[in-house]
Structure 1
């Protein structure tokens, strides 16, 4: 479970009120699926959404349960307590963990960890200025697997009106990357692209996230999944170069060498190793998709 969460590149939301979509989401090629009890569910449907998800999970094989997160409602909401109780049952049934919205301190994460047990991974969703201020404490909280950025809510909280390229959010995104690195977490998860019909925008947003040091992206439609996975999967040229770097460094027995006319040293080797690890993950995902469709 921990390995899956650390390597996942795509996190696809699905409303918990529509459990029939769960199977489609799990078959979409997304690494992780997030059943949503929060924004996608109207206040009057919260109890039904909780019950529907618990019932749907019982029909899933263990491998699919391990790819499932649930986004609970925020601390302070009328549904938080019941969500934690249901989360504990889902975690016991093999669900990977919870996305915790509007995370603004370690307290809510300790509360979720205590309620759901040690096998429940947590993905705090940073959606406010207070959340940014508490990033290091949040990242170091028990059972936190990765940080995620809720950039739409963050803009509202901060009173921002971002341009289409969201250049105003670059420092905030970098703060999540740095906090993840300080805490030894996997690379953080970037926010959604709201226009599900604009493939070019989804790809551009994902490439920006990758350049900045994010390792994954939240998705709101299955059509976005292959686009995001494709960006995070290294190109054939990048894989070939990484393999050449590793081979050259092995031949040089760890010393400095030259590949393609450029000096290669320890930092370049580490980058090559990361590229090959991402390639291996992408190949593993592809193999599973092919096997499932056979």
Structure 2
């Protein structure tokens, strides 16, 4: 079963000692990394470690190196015998990058294209046309580097909005936002996650177990949202659906209220 992917956690592929800790961290998925977290001289070690990883109940993702890196084929060969639940394709820049993965692992493999460059952003139509794509992920730090911008919200707003829009048009799951570099600042992490949620993202990548709780907190349905949704639906049942506390209540608002309660139910919150 595919999880919500609210806070998938990266773990370096060359640190098998951290694999059990990552699986037990509470993250809804673990991303075994063969790319940025692993130096060139350690990639062979990382491939062997990931290929021989212990069995776990957590949703498994392997991030492979970009097609242009020269490492992708070796990465895919290493995981053929023990494929993960999904493959995250670093620096996806077109349909060909994804076809290399499905050609080696089969069309049944689930793909998560990581958009980290301007070329990747303008190729979203072709990327999302691949039926194996579950959702997009945003490599915001590398993207900012590629376009020469600061890693700030305003500079990356257009790119983030494009990922959300294109995902919706292609009927894919909401995209996953990039990482927050702060590890110990729970306030900053949650604030970044709330910003991503407000734009329509469905989750946020984590690089440390301490980031998981703030991300989950941001993306969970709050008590205030549940109370608001109940009031909206109650007003419509009473036939008083024109206004609620001075705000117009129409069909889109009621549909949003239903969506809030549905999400709360899926997250096993009490709706008493």
TM-score between both structures, scaled by the size of structure 2: 0.91
Give the 3-state SS of the residue equivalent to 1:223 in structure 2: helix
Match of 1:108 among 97, 121, 124: 97
Please give the residue correspondences for 1:278-293 in structure 2 after superposition, counting only pairs within 5 Å.
278-283=263-268
Q: Identify the residue that residue 243 of structure 1 maps to in structure 2.
A: 230
1:264, distance to aligned residue in structure 2 (A) = 2.7
**Quick check: 1:88–1:117 contact (8 Å CA) kept in 2?**
no
Structure with a larger share of its residues in helix: 1
Alignment of 1:51 with 2:48, yes or no, is yes
**Separation of aligned partners in 2, 1:267 and 1:223:** 37
**Quick check: 1:113–1:142 contact (8 Å CA) kept in 2?**
no
**Quick check: 2:91–2:115 contact (8 Å CA) kept in 1?**
yes
Q: Identify the residue that residue 270 of structure 1 maps to in structure 2.
A: 255
TM-score between both structures, scaled by the size of structure 1: 0.85
Alignment of 1:71 with 2:63, yes or no, is yes
Does 165-174 or 241-250 show the bigger shift?
A: 241-250
Q: Identify the residue that residue 108 of structure 2 maps to in structure 1.
A: 119
In structure 2, the CA distance between the partners of 1:251 and 1:70, relative to structure 1 (3 Å rule), is farther
In structure 2, the CA distance between the partners of 1:11 and 1:256, relative to structure 1 (3 Å rule), is same
1:46, distance to aligned residue in structure 2 (A) = 1.1
Give the 3-state SS of the residue equivalent to 2:31 in structure 1: strand
Please give the residue correspondences for 1:83-232 in structure 2 after superposition, counting only pairs within 5 Å.
83-91=75-83, 95-162=84-151, 165-232=152-219
Give the 3-state SS of the residue equivalent to 2:8 in structure 1: strand
**Separation of aligned partners in 2, 1:246 and 1:86:** 52
**Quick check: 1:187–1:214 contact (8 Å CA) kept in 2?**
yes
Give the 3-state SS of the residue equivalent to 1:175 in structure 2: helix
Unaligned runs of 5+ in 1: 285-294
1:251, distance to aligned residue in structure 2 (A) = 6.2
Aligned alpha-carbon RMSD (Å): 2.1
Q: How many residues align?
A: 270
